[in-house]
Structure 1
Amino acid sequence: MAAANAQSISALLQKSSLDDHEEILKACNAALKKSKTDIAAQHVKAVALLKLDRYEEALHVFESAGKNLKETAPLEYAYSLYKDGKSKEAADVAARLKDGRAARHVEAQALYRAEDFQATANVYRDLQSSDPTTEQSDLRINRGAVEAQLIWSGKRILAERRKPGREDLEAFETAYNAACGSIARGELRQAEVLLKRAKELCKYSDDLSDEEKAAELLPICVQQLYVLERLGKSEEAKVVASEFKAADVADKATKQIAQHNLLVGSEEPSNPYLAHKMLDNGARFSDDDKPFRFQQRVLNANLKTVDLHALKFDGVARSTSKVLKSQQLPSTSAELTSLGVLNAAAHARGEDGKSALKHLLPELERSPYNIGLLLTIIQVYVSIHNPTSAINHLESFFTHLERSPLETKQEIRFSPGLVTIAVALYKSQGRHSHASRELAQAASYWRRTSDPPQLLLRAAGATLLESLDPEDTSLAAESFTILHEKNRQDMLAAAGYVAAYASKDSSKVKNEVAQLTPVLQLIQGIDVDSLENAGIPQPSNALAIAQKTASRKRGAPDQALNRPKRIRKSRLPKDHDSAKVPDPERWLQLRDRSTYRAKGKKGRKKDADRTQGGIVADDVGMKDAGPPTRPPGVGSGGNKKNKKKGKK
């Protein structure tokens, strides 16, 4: 019976057109009614459903058919898993198919959707090297997208390409991916140029229909709007925003991103409640079209920010605290750190500066491992020009982590982000020895791990090479050795490796020295003599500034000593006469001047009692003469005749 059904299906396929998948599906259903275990009919039905973009039904066919159909059509099963959003399962199934480029493509797409970008890059690298004559254009496009995602996901060091090449300008897909890579690296002006190029190539492409062009231009415009807003080119952003409507975007993730970009780019102050209604429109993403984690984190942060503008402080505080309490803290994940910052903003209730600290510091005592809250407090202290308190709080947090026996907390203690903040704060106060010590401790920890952060080892090695301490020099040598062994093509690591071992064992670095660019080639075309003769370049007013400063610090030259001092008119009295010689005693009080004469009997007596230049009692031996005799009329013994009797 199964053979007869297979023959009938084969005959039907020969008579049907390749696009008549509905008729094929009906025939398969009719055949399966007669025999539910017909593998051929199940296989054809699954393929027809995939052609009709009914991926969930196709996967249901594989799951209900059991092991036999999965083993008969593993590629179709892997593709069904991938299109239904089960990316990890699809990658595992496709990886077990050792032969076949189609399976490798499905594996790469599934790994990309699962955000395992490093494994995706490895698959595409193998595909390019195994058959360099075919699919080069498609593979170049896909690898460009993976390179951008590696940078966005924080694995910039794993990205092979550093700058866009000429081949990236040949097609709009490669130009768009190169622009995404530039955005991820923060090179927005370069991204602006690449996006313009991508838009032009897409508009004038002969291989696309008008509908296909419109579909391809939408994500380019959304990305271009973001770049122009970041560059502050509001007028150009308005023009790009008028070229599309968010409602026309078919992909849900791209549509959500477009709505956020349009809201941010709007110059008119929007009602926060209406903005929240527009952004939180109830869109639910399926597993195959949901934003990547770094995108979803930004979208959620935007929604929380709109809530804060709408004064929903308590709601944001509750929702973020609920998530943070359910997680294992401390954590340096970008998502939890962002939630910590939003939680701090909610507790600050719109305040800033010292007023915000009154709300935030008690929260830090209750949640000492909330890194987002800690970073917010540090930022507030820096904004009010109090870096000392910021350093104290960061060092206190480090002390808590160092006392913990857990290895996870030690890894957080020396995480590149926190180490970078500590080094920046130390250097802002001129505490370079503390910055070097922090880098040395971080390098000493990470050198014992299997996957150390390479950018941190670079910074630590370069700083420690400047130290005269033999331990620091040895640690710098170990850091550059790790970097050099991981990537022999890294010239910076090779240069650091040579610098670390040149004075110790020059024979060890002979091969590396040969790979470095010779010094004579680096200074070729530089006229050293002319540079020395020219001296240090100075601005046009540098000489005048230097002379003025010198006159203030070292005094005026000799010929200027007799020059009368010029006095501003605003400092002179109104009745000032330059012909009159000013009184040299004008700064003294009146009674201390030589021309002062007291008036009246009491005044002359006071002048007589003054001792300026006269004789005092101590000088004539009157110190031991005993108490002075009281004059008549003073005290109890004088002039009793005039004394009146008091009341008894």
Structure 2
Amino acid sequence: MSASVKSLSALLAQASLDDHDEILKAANAAIKKSKGDLDAQHAKAVALLKLDRYEDALKVFNDVPKLQDRARFEYAYALYKSGEADRATEVAKENASTRAMKHVLAQSAYRSENFEVAADAYKQLSTETNADEEADIKINSSAVDSQLEWANKGHLTQKKKLERDDLQAFETAYNTACWCISRDELPHAEICLKRAIELCNAAEDLTDEEKKSEILPMRVQQVYVLTRMGKIDEAEQLSTTIPFAEIKEFSSRYIAQVNSIAASTKHSNPYLSHRLFHSAPKPPKTDQLFTYQTDILRQDEYAINLFAHKAGGVKSQTAKVIDASPSPTLSPAVNTASVVHAAAHAQSQSTSHTQTLSEKAALKAILPLLEKRPNDIGLLLTITQLYVLTNNLAAATELLEAFFKRLEQSGTASDLDVRHAPGLVATLVSLYVAQGRHSHSKTGLAKAAHYWREKSETAPRSLMTAAGTALLETHHPENLEMAGEIFEALFRQDYTDRSAIAGLIAALSISDPDKLPKELINSLPDVDRLVADLDVAALEAAGVPTLPSAMASSTTTKRTAPKEDQTPAKPKRIRKSRMPKDFVAGRTMDPERWLPMRDRTYYRPKGRKGKKKMEGLTQGGAVAEDKSVDNKQTTSGGGGQKKGGGKKKKGGKW
């Protein structure tokens, strides 16, 4: 054993960094003589990593457990490169004392979607001065920020707004474009992508082949952005210029081929689209898609299968996803599967595969599912949407209110989180606003804000902003105080948030002006600059717009300001054909003239027959008992025959 170690050490001393094959041969020779030689096993693992044989290197660590403790960095790196990102994060987190291990921790946490851990690791690395890594850390940090936005954790990002420095290098410009996409700022994303491509083409340190490799994923993102913006023709034209086979990352290649179907105007045949979708290559384990990408692609698959009239298969697939998850849940994958399951159920209930169900027919088909799954959020929101489309806002509101009440009575932490979820609260508030129930909307927002403030310091930002604004409008002292606390917490999270600054100033200026910092007031733009382009005289001349009443048309009407020289309008002349025959100008017209004569209050029938007939027509009046009819009752729909019916007299009249 000592001889093998000595010869291996001598070989390592003489070898250069490029002789990894020779090192691997020597290590294997030493291991043949002694399998317990940890030095040889360590050298073999490192040589395999240098040769990009990551799975073989991981096998060495699995076969020799003692080597895992001896070479923690190499073990974590082998796990990360072999697609075992979760395990790599655990190993790196336990030994994140060195800078190299922090890099592995950041990379593996990013791939395992532990974006908070990745953001914290890059933050630590940025504080440690290292000029050689500064640019890489900035690029990777911007990628983490975009992923935090996709995961609805934008309050944890370092980037709060688009800055000039983000567009100085093509890597940061591309990551900033992805950040804009995650925030649904598509016009900004389009600008950033164009800038990233320009910078990449102008890079002097890249070969033409490297430039092409870097630009292809940017083109794929451009197709996505153009499609989302409705520029289908541009997206289709750009998609035809992308050579899918030359995209090195399998995940990007897969997305590119799927997006080409969405951007194409030629794929009107659903069966052809179905075939093209399922022919796209699936990414390997080492290049897996992120959860939000997988969810969207699964939705695409459901939609394509429904267009291809595979409702039965979609019902079966989505039912498995729904049954495997507890209810209620905020999981986008589960709730989307529930929505698609309802659509597949409605399609399967249709008498014709080519028939599109109306909203009322779809409601009739889907409502029975609610009895089986009353806490299914996807199903609830689908039915709510159908109620809205049929102008039945009251039923939609009652449906959500009953659901919220059940969750409140449950009292479990998970149910209460669902009850106060920003999306669900916003849906109910929108229904209240549409019906003119503004007090209910403000109460709902305040209740949700109070819950999240007590539960966590990092409450949903959009919900807290809406709640603070609603509380300000009440002008109640307690509500103003609560609004001030909300906007103060938002301001502490992001000192550049203008809505938080304005809300804090508005709340404190009324409730407690002494606490209002002068620097906050100075940070607001001048009023003169805000109204510089407004013509007050023209606004007054145009009149005051009146607010529409609840359930009225969405178009607002204007009350035009009266002019001094305006003469009153002449009364509209009624044609003779529309006037009654006995019309006399100036005489009050009969208000009951539109009713039939027998329904008018002053109608009095003449003669004995007329009075008797009038008694029979009187609604709610006394009815004489007919003794010739048996008093026995029969059940409705029983099909029985009545007994004892009276006989008609000879010569009698009815």
Shorter-chain TM range is 0.7 to 0.9
Question: Structure 1 residues 268 and 16, CA, compared in 2 at 3 Å: closer, same or farther?
Answer: same
1:108 aligns with 2:106: yes
1:156 corresponds in structure 2 to: 154
Question: Structure 1 residues 59 and 442, CA, compared in 2 at 3 Å: closer, same or farther?
Answer: same
2:212 corresponds in structure 1 to: 214
Deviation per CA, 1:418-448, whole angstroms, max 9, x where unpaired?
0011111111122111100111211222222
1:197 Cα deviation (Å)?
1.6
1:500 aligns with 2:527: no
Preserved CA contact (<8 Å) 1:443 1:475: no
Q: How does 1:411-490 map to 2 (within 5 A)?
A: 411-451=417-457, 452-484=459-491, 486=493, 490=497
Which deviates more from structure 2 when the two are superposed, residues 161-170 or residues 50-59?
161-170
1:199 aligns with 2:206: no
Deviation per CA, 1:304-325, whole angstroms, max 9, x where unpaired?
1111011111211121112211
Preserved CA contact (<8 Å) 1:491 1:516: no
Preserved CA contact (<8 Å) 1:113 1:288: no
Secondary structure of residue in 1 paired with 2:539: coil
1:187 Cα deviation (Å)?
1.3
Question: Structure 1 residues 458 and 132, CA, compared in 2 at 3 Å: closer, same or farther?
Answer: farther
Higher-Rg structure is 1
* Aligned partner of 2:359 among 353, 360, 369: 353
1:516 aligns with 2:520: yes
1:57 aligns with 2:56: yes
Question: Structure 1 residues 533 and 470, CA, compared in 2 at 3 Å: closer, same or farther?
Answer: closer
Q: How does 1:276-315 map to 2 (within 5 A)?
A: 276-281=274-279, 283-315=281-313
Deviation per CA, 1:442-493, whole angstroms, max 9, x where unpaired?
1222222024323222211221122133443343244335445555665544
Q: How does 1:451-600 map to 2 (within 5 A)?
A: 451=457, 452-484=459-491, 486=493, 490=497, 492-507=499-514, 509-510=515-516, 513-518=517-522, 522-523=526-527, 525=529, 534=537, 536=539, 557=567, 588=581
Which deviates more from structure 2 when the two are superposed, residues 268-277 or residues 285-294?
268-277
Secondary structure of residue in 1 paired with 2:474: coil
Question: Structure 1 residues 285 and 506, CA, compared in 2 at 3 Å: closer, same or farther?
Answer: same
Unaligned runs of 5+ in 2: 348-355, 546-556, 585-654
1:10 Cα deviation (Å)?
3.3
Q: Residues of 1 paired with 2:186 and 2:524: CA distance?
A: 35
Which deviates more from structure 2 when the two are superposed, residues 267-276 or residues 148-157?
267-276
- The alignment's C-alpha RMSD in Å is 3.2
Which deviates more from structure 2 when the two are superposed, residues 384-393 or residues 367-376?
384-393
| TM-score between the two structures when normalised by the length of structure 1 | 0.80
Preserved CA contact (<8 Å) 1:256 1:279: no
Q: Residues of 2 paired with 1:60 and 1:298: CA distance?
A: 35
Which deviates more from structure 2 when the two are superposed, residues 515-524 or residues 40-49?
515-524
Secondary structure of residue in 2 paired with 1:536: helix
2:30 corresponds in structure 1 to: 31
Code of the residue aligned with 2:188 in structure 1: it is Q
Code of the residue aligned with 1:516 in structure 2: it is L
Code of the residue aligned with 2:235 in structure 1: it is A
| TM-score between the two structures when normalised by the length of structure 2 | 0.79
1:387 Cα deviation (Å)?
2.0
1:547 Cα deviation (Å)?
9.3
2:318 corresponds in structure 1 to: 320
Preserved CA contact (<8 Å) 1:484 1:490: yes
Question: Structure 1 residues 324 and 133, CA, compared in 2 at 3 Å: closer, same or farther?
Answer: same
1:223 corresponds in structure 2 to: 221
Paired residues, number: 564
Q: Residues of 1 paired with 2:487 and 2:524: CA distance?
A: 24
Q: Residues of 1 paired with 2:560 and 2:145: CA distance?
A: 56
Preserved CA contact (<8 Å) 2:472 2:507: yes
2:642 corresponds in structure 1 to: none
1:613 corresponds in structure 2 to: none
Which deviates more from structure 2 when the two are superposed, residues 475-484 or residues 48-57?
475-484
Secondary structure of residue in 2 paired with 1:466: helix
2:411 corresponds in structure 1 to: 405
1:626 corresponds in structure 2 to: none
Code of the residue aligned with 2:567 in structure 1: it is P
Which deviates more from structure 2 when the two are superposed, residues 202-211 or residues 475-484?
475-484
Question: Structure 1 residues 163 and 445, CA, compared in 2 at 3 Å: closer, same or farther?
Answer: closer
Q: Residues of 2 paired with 1:205 and 1:527: CA distance?
A: 45
Which deviates more from structure 2 when the two are superposed, residues 173-182 or residues 385-394?
385-394
Preserved CA contact (<8 Å) 2:48 2:56: yes
Question: Structure 1 residues 521 and 489, CA, compared in 2 at 3 Å: closer, same or farther?
Answer: closer
Q: Residues of 2 paired with 1:457 and 1:325: CA distance?
A: 33
Question: Structure 1 residues 239 and 434, CA, compared in 2 at 3 Å: closer, same or farther?
Answer: same
Code of the residue aligned with 1:26 in structure 2: it is K
Q: Residues of 1 paired with 2:558 and 2:254: CA distance?
A: 59
2:41 corresponds in structure 1 to: 42
Deviation per CA, 1:309-368, whole angstroms, max 9, x where unpaired?
111112111211122112111001111111111111111205231111011111112111
Preserved CA contact (<8 Å) 1:24 1:45: yes
Which deviates more from structure 2 when the two are superposed, residues 467-476 or residues 315-324?
467-476
Q: Residues of 1 paired with 2:539 and 2:297: CA distance?
A: 51
Q: Residues of 1 paired with 2:579 and 2:530: CA distance?
A: 67
1:537 Cα deviation (Å)?
6.2
Preserved CA contact (<8 Å) 1:9 1:41: yes
Q: Residues of 1 paired with 2:435 and 2:210: CA distance?
A: 57
Preserved CA contact (<8 Å) 1:85 1:286: no
Question: Structure 1 residues 112 and 533, CA, compared in 2 at 3 Å: closer, same or farther?
Answer: closer
Which deviates more from structure 2 when the two are superposed, residues 54-63 or residues 454-463?
454-463
Unaligned runs of 5+ in 1: 574-584, 593-648
Deviation per CA, 1:4-30, whole angstroms, max 9, x where unpaired?
323322333455453343332222111
Deviation per CA, 1:373-392, whole angstroms, max 9, x where unpaired?
11111112222322222112
1:248 Cα deviation (Å)?
2.9
* Aligned partner of 2:240 among 239, 242, 246: 242
